[in-house]
């Protein structure tokens, strides 16, 4: 199973702000690999989609 886990490229989850407000965040994720195909990092970007 090691090395065979498929990365989650998109998901949504609620987060609670400092003032207690709940916001819905859409996450976009990418796995970064080196020239040999080894995973070296992940890159994630979150977008607030609460108002949609």
Plot region of 16 (φ>0 → left; ψ -120 to 50 → alpha; else → beta): beta
Tokens (6 digits) for 46: 């979150």
Alpha carbon distance 30, 26 (integer Å): 14
Average pLDDT over residues 37-44: 93
Instruction: Identify the pLDDT of residue 8.
Output: 76
Q: Given this model, what pLDDT does residue 1 score?
A: 47
C-alpha to C-alpha distance for 48 and 25, rounded to whole angstroms: 5
Model-level pTM? 0.71
Please state which CATH number belongs to domain 10-48: 2.10.70
Q: What are the domain boundaries of the chain?
A: 10-48
What is residue 5's predicted lDDT score, i.e. its pLDDT?
66
For residues 35-52, average pLDDT: 95
Residue among 46, 42, 43, 44 at smallest CA distance from 25: 46
- DSSP codes of every residue in 23-36: EEEEEEEEEEE-TT
pLDDT digits (tens, 9 = 90+) for 1-36: 466 667 679 999 999 999 999 999 999 999 999 999
């Amino acid at each position: 199973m090691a090395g065979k886990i498929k990365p989650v490229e998109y998901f949504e989850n609620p987060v609670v702000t400092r003032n207690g407000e709940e916001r819905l965040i859409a996450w976009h994720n990418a796995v970064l690999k080196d020239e040999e195909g080894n995973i070296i990092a992940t890159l994630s970007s979150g977008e607030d989609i609460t108002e949609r």
